[in-house]
């Protein structure tokens, strides 16, 4: 019985965190958040050089061959640091190709994705909150015509894994004919969103895409849960820190029970969730019959906790918490993305209910 991270895993988390602390300090984060692009090539390249881009990809294609838990604990750190960039879309696209691609597709894309020389993302969402493989309606074929919504950093991607009708997956390359990418004014400026439209756009189907899609969905749910845990943890820390420094009535406001209790409640909402996302990630590789449902429960639970803690953190900071200047808003908006991307908590709770036979 060992329900804990290994020394290597702890070191992986520390290394990524250290890198982000050095390379993406608050002023840099702010600059990227406020900037036009939202993606800092250098920052992403550095992460890729550490192996983050191909952590979970097979070793034979240049990846590190690690497990979903390893990817998830990196996602936690990314969430904790609110690191701007394409991590989640890139990770899911790589997984989709690794699981569903032909040998030629894997040869072509995985080595470049593992080194970060190529950037990938996934286009799953459709109008009306249709995020899940069985809800996709974009007709499949040798060409795509239709649209996809809320695609992270599609405007920077070399290849996009597109979800198609009945739960298939197809590859669309940068600059493909008829592909139009329109940036969306998303709340979370660390993960910029785009709408895609296709008009007879050439694509390449992943032969085992139908089998891969649910696994990619579940991985996505777990990575969002992990990101949410990291972000929520950080918001608790920021709020506690503020309560220890801000003074009113001659004492730090952390003396006051109303605030102390609110902070304790925030911590109690967040801290136990660590084990839930760990288990959900572990289950994807090791407990097949529980994996799908646990991923749904983890995503629903932890992204909901993140959003609530983000609201509490704004309150705990008082007036300053409501300003654009206060960093809390950056995590607040990441919470909004984690919560809605790939389906809201209510959607995944209902799925969990169905899977339990309720």
- Residues 187, 340: Cα–Cα separation, whole Å: 11
272 touches another protein by CB under 8 A: yes
Among 254, 307, 321, 330, binds another protein (CB under 8 A): 254
In 3-state terms, what secondary structure has residue 194? strand
255 touches another protein by CB under 8 A: yes
* DSSP string covering 215-263: HHHHHHHHHHHHHHHHHHHHHHHHHHHHHHH-EETTEEGGGSHHHHHHH
The mark string for 293-332 relative to another protein (x by CB under 8 A, - otherwise) is -x--xx-xxx-x----------------------------
Q: Do 307 and 292 form a contact (C-beta atoms < 8 A)?
A: no
From the list 141-149, 198-206, 209-217, 262-270, the region that binds another protein by CB under 8 A is: 262-270
189 touches another protein by CB under 8 A: no
260 touches another protein by CB under 8 A: yes
44 touches another protein by CB under 8 A: no
For 186, left (φ over 0), alpha (ψ -120 to 50), or beta?
A: beta
Nearer to another protein, 70 or 205 (CB): 70
- Indicate the angle between helix axes 273-286 and 68-81, nearest 10 degrees: 150
14 touches another protein by CB under 8 A: no
Q: Do 147 and 197 form a contact (C-beta atoms < 8 A)?
A: yes
From the list 94-102, 117-125, 243-251, 328-336, the region that binds another protein by CB under 8 A is: 243-251
Torsions phi, psi for 317 (to 5 deg): -90, -5
25 touches another protein by CB under 8 A: no
Nearer to another protein, 211 or 346 (CB): 346
Closest CA to 224 of 335, 126, 312, 150: 335
- Minimum CB separation of residue 344 from another protein in Å reads 11
Contacts with another protein by CB under 8 A lie at 1-6, 69, 236, 240, 243-244, 251-252, 254-255, 257, 260-261, 263-265, 267-268, 271-276, 278-279, 282, 286-287, 294, 297-298, 300-302, 304, 346, 349-350, 352-353, 356, 358
């Amino acid at each position: 019985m060992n329900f804990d991270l290994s020394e290597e895993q702890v070191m992986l988390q520390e290394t990524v965190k250290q890198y982000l602390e050095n390379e993406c300090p608050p002023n840099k984060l702010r600059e990227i958040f406020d900037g036009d692009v939202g993606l800092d090539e250098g920052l992403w390249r550095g992460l890729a050089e550490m192996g983050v881009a191909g952590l979970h990809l097979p070793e034979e294609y240049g990846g590190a061959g690690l497990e979903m838990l390893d990817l998830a604990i990196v996602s936690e750190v990314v969430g904790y640091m609110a690191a701007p960039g394409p991590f989640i879309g890139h990770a899911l696209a790589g997984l989709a190709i690794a699981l569903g691609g032909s040998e030629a597709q894997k040869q072509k894309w995985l080595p470049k994705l593992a080194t970060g020389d190529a950037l990938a993302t996934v286009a799953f969402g459709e109008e009306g909150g249709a995020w899940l493989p069985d809800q996709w309606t974009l007709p499949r074929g040798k060409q795509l015509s239709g649209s996809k919504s809320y695609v992270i950093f599609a405007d920077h991607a070399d290849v996009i894994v597109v979800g198609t009708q009945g739960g298939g997956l197809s590859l669309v390359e940068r600059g493909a004919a008829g592909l139009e990418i329109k940036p969306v004014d998303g709340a979370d400026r660390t993960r910029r969103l785009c709408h895609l439209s296709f008009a007879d756009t050439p694509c390449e189907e992943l032969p085992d895409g139908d089998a891969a899609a649910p696994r990619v969905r579940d991985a996505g749910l777990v990575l969002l849960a992990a990101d949410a845990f990291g972000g929520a943890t950080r918001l608790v820390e920021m709020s506690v820190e503020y309560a220890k420094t801000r003074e009113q009535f001659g004492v730090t406001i952390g003396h006051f029970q109303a605030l102390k209790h609110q902070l304790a409640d925030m911590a109690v909402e967040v801290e136990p969730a660590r084990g839930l996302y760990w288990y959900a990630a572990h289950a994807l590789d090791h407990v097949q019959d529980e994996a799908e449902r646990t991923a749904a429960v983890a995503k629903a639970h932890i992204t909901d906790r993140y959003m609530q803690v983000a609201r509490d953190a704004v309150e705990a900071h008082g007036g300053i918490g409501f300003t654009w200047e206060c960093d809390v808003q950056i995590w607040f908006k990441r919470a909004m993305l984690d919560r809605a991307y790939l389906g809201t908590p209510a959607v995944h709770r209902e799925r969990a209910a169905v899977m339990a036979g309720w």
